[in-house]
Amino acid sequence: MANVQATSLSGKVAFVTGGSRGIGAGIVRRLAAEGASVAFTYSSSEERALQLVHEIESRGGHVSAFKADSGSASELQSTVLHASETFGPLDIFVSNAGILSLGTIDTYRLDDFDRMVNINVRAAFVGVQAAARSMNNGGRIIVVGSNIAVRTAFPGGSVYSLTKAALTGLVRGAAIDLAPRSITVNNVQPGPTLTEMTSNHVDSVKPLIPLKRMGDVSEIASLVSYLASDDAGFITGTSITIDGGYVA
């Protein structure tokens, strides 16, 4: 990440859930590099969160980390409110926190189902609602879903697919609800992206991707950054898949 200078998001206040690692950390880095002041949550990776804060601050960026469990509506709501009171009304909100638990439909545990829906769907709704209440008119809301909403493709992914498909409906409705305030709401659907969680599956996944490579975290973050910018002001209520042609 280059040293921060006046760029497209200078003066903006951003909030990212699940921002300490993987795609979330990439988004935090990119928004900070574009000049935004970024608050992000983490649930358990405190050391990673603090390392990310140090990294960005050493480059002149403005960033703060907040410990919050996205599965707790009250924690997420209070953290969004605290961030907006500390840094000012939000301009950008990115709902990125999510979990993955695989299992075929005939064996899937109800407890796992409830947790997946709680983190992947309910927390997205809670975060979007809380952010909208603390957001400037003309703000940007971006939900990070998955291309599995379009193509499940493998056994054991039915519940994960269900949760990510639910986000496509959420952003359509939220976009209409918030349009009078010129707040846009969009869903980014990454495909196979190289992170620590996917590093063991590269060889099996790459042949399925027309571009024959995994996505890079920076590419996902770049799309999020664009949707957060003024240039994307006429894009709302849509789900954009970024997966190297995997679902083509």
The pLDDT tens digits of the residues spanning 116-125 come to: 999 999 999 9
Q: Flag whether 126 is in a domain.
A: yes
Considering its fold, how many domains does the chain have in total? 1
Q: Does residue 195 lie within any of the structural domains?
A: yes
Q: For 220, list phi and psi in degrees, rounded to 5.
A: -65, -45
**Confidence band, pLDDT 50/70/90 cuts, at residue 197:** confident
The CA distance from 22 to 40, in Å, is 13
Quick one: CA torsion of 137, 52, 244, 157, rounded to 10 degrees? Answer: -90
Task: Tell me if the pTM is above 0.75.
Answer: yes
Q: Examine residue 206 and state whether it is found in any structural domain, yes or no.
A: yes
pLDDT, mean of residues 192-197: 86
Question: Is 4 among the domain residues?
Answer: no
Tell me which amino acid residue 143 is: V
Q: Is the pLDDT of residue 157 over 70?
A: yes
Question: How many CB atoms are located within 10 Å of the residue 218 CB?
Answer: 15
What distance in Å separates the CA atoms of residue 242 and residue 163, rounded to the nearest whole number?
18
> Is residue 108 among the annotated active site residues?
no
Q: Assess whether pLDDT exceeds 70 at residue 38.
A: yes
In a domain, 247, yes or no: no
Residue 3 lies in a domain: no
Helices (H) and strands (E) in the chain, counts: 8, 7
Structure tokens at 189: 């659907």
pLDDT band at 6 (very low <50, low <70, confident <90, very high): very low
CATH number at residue 178: 3.40.50.720
One of 42, 160, 226, 246 is an active-site residue; which one? 160
Higher pLDDT, 130 or 2: 130
pLDDT for 3 equals: 47
- In sequence order, the 6+-apart residues with CB closer than 8 A to the CB of 90 are 13, 14, 15, 80, 83, 84, 131, 134, 135, 136, 139
Q: In whole angstroms, give the CA distance from residue 100 to residue 193.
A: 14
Residue 67 lies in a domain: yes
Output the pLDDT for position 5: 46
Domain presence at residue 154: yes
Concatenated DSSP letters of 63-126: EEEEE--TT-HHHHHHHHHHHHHHH-SEEEEEE---------TTT--HHHHHHHHIIIIIHHHH
Question: Bridge partners of 239?
Answer: 187
Domain range holding 156? 13-242
Cβ-based neighbours of 126, under 8 Å, separated by 6 or more = 73, 76, 77
**HSE-up (13 A, CA, CB side) for residue 134:** 26
**pLDDT grade, residue 44 (50/70/90)?**
confident
